[in-house]
């Protein structure tokens, strides 16, 4: 029973490099989210998706892009990484909107940009 799986778990990037974080869920959830977690700031919403082929901006979307080509996958891209994007990234999915129903989280991706 995998739930929400994030790949990779750790990554170090050089400034200006690009990368894609993959989130996969096996619960047939419509809603998927990407958050970043920074010390003393809790989790902040980057982008989210309310179904296959849809995406929307969250609280801190700048510098990130997302795609939801398949219902079970939600990709987060960094086109040109910056040190300010050093963070722990969490993906979540839910049956209904996360602000109303339970969200299920992956184990996180720790990204360091040097």
Among 11, 17, 44, 67, indicate the residue that binds other proteins (CB under 8 A).
44
Helix (H, G, I), strand (E, B) or coil at 13: strand
How many helices (DSSP H) and strands (DSSP E) are in the chain?
0, 11
Question: Is there binding between residue 24 and other proteins (CB under 8 A)?
Answer: no
Report the residue from 11, 17, 30, 43 that binds other proteins according to the rule CB under 8 A: 43
For residue 17, the tally of other CB atoms under 10 A from its CB is 14
Report if residue 27 touches other proteins, rule: CB under 8 A: no
| DSSP β-ladder status, 31-38 and 19-25 | unpaired
Q: Which residue ranges make up the site for other proteins (CB under 8 A)?
A: 4, 31, 33, 40-45, 48, 50, 56, 58-59, 90, 92, 96-100, 102-108
């Amino acid at each position: 029973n995998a739930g929400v799986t994030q790949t990779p778990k750790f990554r170090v990037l050089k400034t200006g490099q690009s990368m894609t974080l993959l989130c996969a869920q096996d619960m047939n959830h419509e809603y998927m989210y990407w958050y970043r977690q920074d010390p003393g700031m809790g989790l902040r919403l980057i982008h989210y998706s309310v179904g296959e082929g849809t995406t929307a901006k969250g609280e801190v979307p700048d510098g990130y892009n997302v795609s939801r080509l398949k219902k079970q996958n939600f990709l987060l891209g960094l086109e040109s990484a910056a040190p300010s994007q050093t963070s722990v990234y969490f993906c979540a999915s839910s049956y209904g909107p996360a602000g109303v129903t339970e969200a299920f989280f992956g184990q996180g991706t720790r990204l360091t940009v040097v």
